[in-house]
Amino acid sequence: MENTTQQEIARRRTFAIISHPDAGKTTLTEKLLFLGGAIHKAGEVKGKAGSKAAMSDWMSMEQERGISITSSVMQIEHKGLHINLLDTPGHKDFSEDTYRTLTAADSAVMLLDVAKGVEAQTKKLYEVCRYRKLPIFSFINKLDRDGKVPLELLDEVESTLNMSCYPVTWPLGIGGTFKGLYHRHTKEFHWYQIKDGELLSEVYQLSGPEDKKLEEIVDDQGLIEQFREDLELLEVALGEFSEEDFLTGKVSPLTWGSAKYLFGVDLFLDLFADYAPAPQPRDGGNGPVDPQDKDFTGFVFKVQANMDKRHRDRVAFIRICSGKFERGMKVQNTRLGREVRLAYANQLMAQDRETVDIAYAGDIVGINDTGNFLVGDSVSTGKKVKYPQLPRFSPELFAKIRKRDMSKRKQLEKGLSQMSEEGTIQLFYDPFIGIQDPVIGVVGELQFEVLLHRLKEEYNLELELQRSSFSVARWPRTKEDVAYEGDIKGNMTTLVDTHGEKVVLLDKEWDLQWAERENPDVIFAKSIEPQR
């Protein structure tokens, strides 16, 4: 019997993985795809020559550097659920892309390195999740390596993030002494061993951690005693797991494992399937929009150009918030105030795509776009909706293009404009001169590398950057949060951004502090929501 729209929406789960770089996020993504049957061979993030590249790292620079630069969207089926997995860049230079992707998720998985614990980028991304009240799962990775004492690491997570953790699994040993994982709910002990590069595993049903069968499985009494002491302390300190506290972001169910060797990844996936929330109501501008509403609504959280360089394509990623998507349907673009047709739609496995005819609230669809969509656009088939805009943040590094071949001026303008619309860079220019010679702003150094790499790869442009002395960008606003149109005192350059908003660029923080003192009626905003 064919599922109804309501049933299809109810089985959707959409989540993002957040972590500090090198915590193993892309490896975990690959193994989840492998367990979900989406791929038949997990790719190596930093493999030997000739090894398969990680599925979620599709851009050539990602494969060369072994890092995630773009957000990827992938799907798996597990326990009757249709799971949308959003892999995000871990590097701080791409935090805006990660922020936008988190707006499309209904829950998040925080990935931690057992040896390093809570790192700077993890903390920042966790704060974004808390601000959005996203339910968070925690996965402590790399148990195959030596790391921090489990109870100390648990205390570090709770004290650093001010978040309660509820360990669902617990390790017996770490690194060279690792023997397996105990599941506190099922009372199963999952024994693991790597022999000749192959994973050996066995599941033993215990009556509890005191079960003498454990001595038959693990030949290390000291390890077993420490394991039992840890669990006894946990039982005293923790009460029952509260699903309500999890859904409101107060407590995080925590599991342990090694994505590299598949230790505990299946246990995490089962836990996720048991507790992850289905699509939730979202603010549509005139009140909450229920996912089960019959009208189709959604918003664009990402635009990516040239995923297929042969066709110079442009894909707008839409998070469906309510109703049912049907290929070829006409929708109202709130920003444009007119109808557009969603004729060519895909569901994506990183850069690989498959034409999709139907999708439901909670799903992500990639729309082949000819320039109708920008990040933050809202779309609907019924009453007008306006989902919350996605803010832009202040760049910290600035430059101009130094070498320009005038015969390729149009290619350069197209490339810069495209990457600005994606949110990869920001452009600022003199409104009297136009976009021909813009100041380019980025959050981090790696974004400049990506810019030059993509201009060469996708537009055949060999370019160099001339660094600017600017280090601060601010949007002048009134106390009523509208653009300030008057004169502003201070040592600054006044330009406009690609949304037509006035922006001031300053050399130093000291210049900003002086300007704030001299212009008490002006708010120098560090981030801004586009006024559309």
Residue 375 sits in a domain of what CATH number? 3.40.50.300
Which of 255, 275, 295 corresponds to the end of one domain?
275
Check whether residue 27 and residue 162 sit in a common domain.
yes
Which of 353, 380, 407 corresponds to the end of one domain?
380
**pLDDT at position 306, please?**
63
Q: Which residue's entry shows tokens 């959409």?
A: 14
| Separation CA 172–CA 229 (nearest Å) | 11
Which of 340, 359, 380 corresponds to the end of one domain?
380
| Separation CA 525–CA 191 (nearest Å) | 54
Check whether residue 268 and residue 290 sit in a common domain.
no
For residue 188, being part of any structural domain is answered with no
78 class by beta-carbon count within 10 Å (0-12 exposed, 13-18 middle, 19+ buried): middle
Beta bridge partners of 378: 299
Check whether residue 246 and residue 304 sit in a common domain.
no
> CB-side exposure of 480: number of CA atoms within 13 Å?
4
Check whether residue 304 and residue 263 sit in a common domain.
no
For residue 181, being part of any structural domain is answered with no
Give the Cβ contact number of residue 18 at 10 Å.
27
The token pair that represents 368 in the structure block: 């082949």
In this prediction the pTM is 0.81
| Separation CA 136–CA 514 (nearest Å) | 42
Residue 418 host element (H or E) = helix 409-422
CB 373, CB 316: distance < 8 Å? yes
Check whether residue 376 and residue 411 sit in a common domain.
no
Residue 456 host element (H or E) = helix 445-459
Check whether residue 369 and residue 401 sit in a common domain.
no
Check whether residue 418 and residue 354 sit in a common domain.
no
User: Residue 42's Cα: distance from chain center in Å?
Assistant: 20
For residue 92, being part of any structural domain is answered with yes
21 class by beta-carbon count within 10 Å (0-12 exposed, 13-18 middle, 19+ buried): middle
For residue 387, being part of any structural domain is answered with no
| Full domain range(s) for residue 481 | 392-528
For residue 454, being part of any structural domain is answered with yes
Domain count, the chain: 3
Check whether residue 307 and residue 412 sit in a common domain.
no
For residue 106, being part of any structural domain is answered with yes
Check whether residue 341 and residue 361 sit in a common domain.
yes
User: Residue 322's Cα: distance from chain center in Å?
Assistant: 21
- CATH classification of the domain holding 410: 3.30.70.3280
Check whether residue 109 and residue 249 sit in a common domain.
yes
Check whether residue 372 and residue 425 sit in a common domain.
no
Residue 452 host element (H or E) = helix 445-459
For residue 215, being part of any structural domain is answered with no
Per-residue pLDDT of the chain (532 residues; tens, 9 = 90+): 457 999 999 999 999 988 877 888 888 988 988 888 877 555 443 333 444 444 444 344 444 443 333 446 788 999 999 999 987 664 454 556 777 888 899 999 999 999 998 887 788 778 778 877 899 999 999 999 999 999 999 999 999 988 899 999 999 999 989 999 999 999 999 999 888 777 889 999 999 999 999 999 999 999 999 999 999 999 888 888 999 999 988 899 999 999 999 999 999 999 999 999 999 999 998 899 999 999 999 999 988 876 555 556 788 899 999 999 999 999 999 999 999 999 877 765 545 567 888 999 999 998 888 888 988 899 999 889 999 877 677 888 999 988 667 778 888 888 898 888 877 889 999 988 877 789 999 887 888 888 898 888 888 888 889 999 999 999 999 998 889 989 999 999 999 998 889 999 999 999 999 999 999 999 999 876 544 3
For residue 186, being part of any structural domain is answered with no
Check whether residue 412 and residue 476 sit in a common domain.
yes
**pLDDT at position 360, please?**
96
